[in-house]
Structure 1
Amino acid sequence: MLQLSSCASETELLKELNESTEESDPIPNAKITNFSFLSVDNDGLTTDIIGTLDENTKTVYIELDPLVIPIEQLVPTIAISPGSTVSPTSKTTQDFSHELSYTVTSDNGTKTTYKIIPSIIGNICTANLQDSGPIKVTANNQRIENLYIRTTNQHGIEINNYTGVIISNCIIEYTGAFMGIKFTSADNLTIKNCSIKYVNAPAKGPLEDAERNCIEGIGSKNIVITNVRVEDGSTGIRLNQCDDSVLKYIEGHNMRGPFPRGQLVQYDKCVGGLLENFSVINDRDIAWTEDNISIYKSGGQQIKKGLIVGNNSPTGVGVLFEDQNTEGARGGYGGIVEDVDFLEMGNGVASSVEGSKNVTFTRIRAKQIICGDLGQNRGKSTSNSLIFAAFGTTANTGGNKIIDCIIYNSCNPTNIVWPEHNFDLIDYKDDIDFEPRKPIVLNFTCPSDN
């Protein structure tokens, strides 16, 4: 039995005991108090970027413009509560093109995880652009900037045999049997920070013909298209014999076809090319898709960090490599699809077929595969909802690979890979759910637009 000394009251001893306990077991304190990008640490920044912290939801919101800074390689400065550590650590270079998580650990082991959510911003809207009709380029290195272009009887912007042209900060609305931007022999073209929309499209279904693409290029090298939204065109971006293109931060909505168009991006007889950080959202009751990304008679393309939602074609797939060995093909064999999520696919997710080979599918994730009607009475999948395909190549010569992929809750779980003999490696899991990547959302509105 504990005996209390008469030198101090019982109340005072209990108070001392409680204070001792509090000192040995401090109140958990694992917090981010500030999240920022400092100009001294990040090339391209002239002023610091300070994140907006929501402590209730443990979320930090940051606004980033990929035209100003390389957001795939940013160095954050993170302030945390005293005695805590954070992982990844402050001043560690990270890719902020998508949502990230940081975990703060207090000195007694308590952990708090914060979401860092980047908003990729544009800086234009109709209210601060100059009204314009269609434009034809007339000189090398011409700059077309800060325009609101509307056209019904010509291409929005047309370039023929001029190089080094820059199109930036433009909103283009076009209609009729024309393109938003059409270019031929326009090496080193840059299209950045633009919104391109086909207007007067029907409420649902295909356009009148397949020649109403948002962007179409022919015979042009080293094209850069970044921070661009395409909507309701026959195809979003169609490149024919355009080598070594770079497409980044592409936001697509409701590709309208008809066949053979209906893609977000189509490469036709192209050598190489990078498509990275992109999304396309097709409402299957509105859009009229074929393959979401078509790589036709082309080789060496890299398709990375994307989200593809919605395909209502009974013959189209999410990403298709085909005919790499047929007459007119350029670029040789192979390609990469990496870190791309697929939802609401019917006929297929990713394929290397009809003479294509050596394609690697890495960290692909797919769910909500469709076995029934695909929408708008287009019928059912002709492949019985196959996921990965590699047919049309001599057995055991395909050289394709499936690496660390996830196929969740497929409507036809016995029809995942066919034929297996044209894959050198088949590595996927089918029992893990996942949260899809966030779509690219570019901002082309101002309060005054409303």
Structure 2
Amino acid sequence: MTSRKDGQVIENLDIYSPHGNGIMVLHKGVIVRNCRIRHGLGSGVFAQGAAGILLEDLEVDHVGAPPAGAGPSENYINIQLESCPDAILTRVKASRGASNVYVVNSPGTRMSLLELHDARGPFPRGQNVQFNRSPDSSLEEFSAENGPTSWTEDNISVFCSDRCMVRRGLVFYNNSPTGAGVMLEGSFDCLVEDVDTVQQGNGAFSAVPQGDVGSGGCSFIRCRSRDTYNEPRDGRDAPTSNGLSFYTRISEGAEKHTVRDCCVYALANPRNIIWQRAAVHAGWSIRRRAFEPRLPLRLAFNWQ
């Protein structure tokens, strides 16, 4: 299915696409809603130059993924948006994609009520959600769940995307030697708030420069991490950070990051909680205490 005009509504479809993209959107203001999409050699939804696209009440599954481990191609993404400013995604379930949602050059993207499962890679994919050069975007009310069949990198990645928000979510399971639960990379003035990470190895929360692109002024508020690991997992190497929980660095002259009202519990390496402390405002607070993580999101659709 390919869009034909601006403002088109594509709805109430059950799409099986073993070759190519399930739905391709090339026009502005298109609405895609109430669809189930199963795809193999392609993306579930691929949109390019589709400003203001609305994706609503969708279930997207990469049925071309192997039973376990890295997927066959970094390009087989469940939802891929390129140059689609002001996109909206709500009530979306996505599973087994190279990345489940990948947003590039799409400022102002808004995502809410996302149920995400089993990201498969291979590198450089492996994220449940990645914002790439998409400033002023947000992800809220979500769960991003992986497991032993997954092939992860960063679970949630904000890459070279300033002023983004990640709020009220659950991030579960990572088996990458270098991936983090929530990674703010080469991004300034971002907010991560009320997010729980479970079973992370290389880091739960990170805010760092990326190459020549700096980092600073990011905030982690009421973020929690528990049940971390620090050994090889699922046939992949052990975490390269020695089980670090919060990884914070800033570029020269940048504002320091903020870490406030956070907590950790049941850490594989309880002595490796935060580094570098010099990159964080004084008065940072990370307590050690037990907590029950947020419940995962479960969406129900008409076809279930």
- TM-score by length of structure 1 reads 0.65
2: distance between equivalents of 1:273 and 1:259?
Answer: 23
Residues 142-169 of structure 1, C-alpha deviations (whole Å, 9 max, x = no match): 1011000110122011012x11100010
| Maintained 8 Å contact 1:397/1:422 | no
In structure 2, the residue matched to 1:166 is: 31
SS in structure 2 at match of 1:175: strand
Determine which structure has more spread, i.e. the larger CA radius of gyration: 1
2: distance between equivalents of 1:398 and 1:235?
Answer: 31
Runs of 4+ in 1 over 6 A off after TM superposition: none
2: distance between equivalents of 1:295 and 1:391?
Answer: 15
Structure 1 residue 308 and structure 2 residue 183: aligned? Answer: no
In structure 2, the residue matched to 1:197 is: 61
- In the alignment, structure 1 segments of 5+ residues that lack a partner are 1-134, 325-332
2: distance between equivalents of 1:202 and 1:429?
Answer: 40
2: distance between equivalents of 1:195 and 1:180?
Answer: 9
Which of the numbers 221, 241, 264 marks the counterpart of 1:407?
264
In structure 2, the residue matched to 1:297 is: 160
Which of the numbers 222, 236, 241 marks the counterpart of 2:100?
236
- In the alignment, structure 2 segments of 5+ residues that lack a partner are none
Aligned ranges 1:43-122 → 2 under 5 Å: none
Opposite residue 197 of structure 1, the aligned amino acid is D
2: distance between equivalents of 1:256 and 1:398?
Answer: 35
2: distance between equivalents of 1:377 and 1:154?
Answer: 31
Task: Compute the displacement of 1:322 (Å).
Answer: 1.3
SS in structure 1 at match of 2:278: helix
Residues 213-242 of structure 1, C-alpha deviations (whole Å, 9 max, x = no match): 100011111101000000000001111110
Structure 1 residue 147 and structure 2 residue 13: aligned? Answer: yes
Residues 31-86 of structure 1, C-alpha deviations (whole Å, 9 max, x = no match): xxxxxxxxxxxxxxxxxxxxxxxxxxxxxxxxxxxxxxxxxxxxxxxxxxxxxxxx
Opposite residue 150 of structure 1, the aligned amino acid is Y
In structure 1, the residue matched to 2:192 is: 337
| Maintained 8 Å contact 2:130/2:157 | yes
Aligned ranges 1:269-288 → 2 under 5 Å: 269-283=133-147, 285-288=148-151
- TM-score by length of structure 2 reads 0.96
| Maintained 8 Å contact 1:343/1:368 | yes
In structure 1, the residue matched to 2:22 is: 156
| Maintained 8 Å contact 2:65/2:72 | no
1: distance between equivalents of 2:5 and 2:268?
Answer: 55
Distance 1:437 1:167, change over 3 A: same
Which of the numbers 191, 198, 205 marks the counterpart of 1:350?
205
| Maintained 8 Å contact 2:216/2:250 | no
In structure 2, the residue matched to 1:368 is: 227
Q: Looking at both structures, which has the greater relative contact order when contacts are Cα pairs under 8 Å and sequence separation is at least 6? A: 2
2: distance between equivalents of 1:350 and 1:264?
Answer: 15
Task: Compute the displacement of 1:409 (Å).
Answer: 2.2
Task: Compute the displacement of 1:264 (Å).
Answer: 1.0
Which of the numbers 307, 311, 318 marks the counterpart of 2:181?
318
Structure with the higher fraction of residues in helix conformation: 1
Task: Compute the displacement of 1:136 (Å).
Answer: 0.6
Task: Compute the displacement of 1:444 (Å).
Answer: 3.1
Task: Compute the displacement of 1:274 (Å).
Answer: 1.2
Which of the numbers 251, 266, 270 marks the counterpart of 2:130?
266
RMSD, aligned α-carbons: 1.3
Task: Compute the displacement of 1:376 (Å).
Answer: 1.9
| Maintained 8 Å contact 1:165/1:188 | yes
Task: Compute the displacement of 1:445 (Å).
Answer: 6.2
Task: Compute the displacement of 1:443 (Å).
Answer: 1.3
| Maintained 8 Å contact 1:314/1:380 | yes
Aligned ranges 1:421-432 → 2 under 5 Å: 421-425=278-282, 426-430=284-288, 432=289
In structure 1, the residue matched to 2:44 is: 180
1: distance between equivalents of 2:67 and 2:302?
Answer: 23
* Percent pairwise identity: 32
Residues 112-169 of structure 1, C-alpha deviations (whole Å, 9 max, x = no match): xxxxxxxxxxxxxxxxxxxxxxx01011111011000110122011012x11100010
| Maintained 8 Å contact 1:277/1:305 | yes
In structure 2, the residue matched to 1:84 is: none
SS in structure 2 at match of 1:242: coil
SS in structure 1 at match of 2:261: strand
Opposite residue 337 of structure 1, the aligned amino acid is V
